[in-house]
A and B are shown apart, each in its own frame.
Chain A
Amino acid sequence: MNDPARPGPSDSRGYYRRMQAAVEELLILKGVVTAADVDRQVAAMASRSPERGARFVARAWVDPAFRARALADGAAAAGEIGLEVGPLRLIVVENTPDVHNVIVCTLCSCYPRMLLGIPPEWYKRRAYRSRVVRDPRAVLAEFGTEVPAGMRIRVHDSTADMRYIVLPMRPAGTAGWSAERLAGLVTRDSLIGVERLPDAV
């Protein structure tokens, strides 16, 4: 764990920035990638936003057959509605009155970028990653999220080749709403599981 060549948490930003710049320069110099490849990937990453995940969830709320397909194979279901998710597998975890799901990557910061874009800073910090597997209710409370007594928590640690997205419960008071209108209720944090969506007023 304690590799003397690695920086402590306080100076890690500068260290990793320099490392990233050095590796990028080397890859370009050696012809492994071009600067244009890097720019294209950065632009593609920046263009994806949680609006994609919101559209996915709203569709699952209004279309039970789509919801069933999404739970069976998240990536294929996303592809159906024009959300290309690339080679990674996507597991959709469904909130119910009995179970609340939360996503983390304790090892690094694996995140469903294909549907949510670039992760928020807190998702990558050691505090969230180390505490949410151990004291999930305490961490959720810091997000202003209360998990009712009797509702179990299921934490998903994205340690390997799967990515996860939470399917929140459809807010009460939305009967008859269109998928577009429902998508407007879905927040990024509800798709990570640190927020529960309030009833529509």
Chain B
Amino acid sequence: MPSEVAAARFRPGDRVRVRAAHPPGHIRTPYYCRGHVGVVERLCGAFANPEELAYNRPGLPAQPLYRVRFKATELWPDYREDPADVVEIELYQHWLEEVS
């Protein structure tokens, strides 16, 4: 694990919103979840920021990485299958906002 690590701001069970941002570059946050609300399923550890690594920069401090669970109906308002279905996505902390 990298030596410089950003402190984890979220815990399993916390509701989070993915930033509705569209910066250029190597972004590992899928478009389809931006702006949507999910629940933190687990903290996966901390990893150097891939948006920086892609340009040969160190990507430090390492960003906590979470698995966030979204209801399929939250991601797709016209979802046609079982409304209890979910999608889980790995997201770095700097893409997540608190939901009050």
Note all chain A residues with C-beta closer than 8 A to B54: none
Q: Would A107 and B81 count as touching, CB distance under 8 A? A: no
* Residues in A whose Cβ lies below 8 Å from that of B28: 107, 159-160
A:14-61 near B, CB below 8 Å = none
Total number of residue pairs linking A and B with CB closer than 8 Å: 71
Q: A160-B92, A162-B90 are in contact. Are A152 and B30 (CB under 8 A)?
A: no
In which size bucket is the chain A interface? 20 to 34
The interface residues of chain B lying within 8 Å CB-to-CB of A138 are 81
Q: Is B81 within 8 A of A135, CB to CB?
A: yes
Minimum CB distance partner of A101 in chain B:
B88
CB–CB B86/A154 < 8 A: yes
* A161 and B47 contacting across the interface, CB-CB below 8 Å: yes
Question: In which size bucket is the chain B interface?
Answer: 20 to 34
Q: Does B47 lie within 8 Å of A157, measured CB to CB? A: no
Complex contacts, A159 vs chain B, CB 8 Å: 28-30, 89-91
Is A156 part of the contact surface with B, judged by Cβ < 8 Å?
Answer: yes
Interface membership of B60, Cβ < 8 A: no
Q: Which of A126-145 contact B (CB under 8 A)?
A: 133-138
A138–B80 alpha-carbon span in the complex (Å): 10
Cβ of A190 within 8 Å of any chain B Cβ, yes or no, is no
- Asked whether any CB of chain A lies closer than 8 Å to the CB of B55, the reply is no
* A133 to B76 Cα, complex, angstroms: 9
- CA–CA, A155 and B75, complex, Å: 12
Residues of B within 8 A of A (CB): 28-30, 32, 44-45, 47, 50, 65, 67, 72, 75-76, 79-82, 84-92
Q: Give the interface of A toward B (CB within 8 A).
A: 89, 91, 106-107, 133-138, 149, 152-162
Q: Please name 11 further chain A to chain B contacts, defined as beta carbons within 8 Å, in addition to the given A153-B81, A160-B90, sorted by A numbering.
A: A89-B45, A133-B87, A134-B75, A135-B81, A137-B82, A159-B89, A159-B91, A160-B47, A161-B45, A161-B47, A161-B90
| 25 examples of A-B residue contacts, CB within 8 angstroms | A106-B30, A107-B28, A107-B30, A133-B87, A134-B75, A134-B76, A135-B80, A138-B81, A153-B86, A154-B88, A155-B72, A155-B85, A156-B87, A157-B87, A157-B90, A159-B90, A160-B44, A160-B47, A160-B50, A160-B90, A160-B91, A161-B44, A162-B44, A162-B65, A162-B67
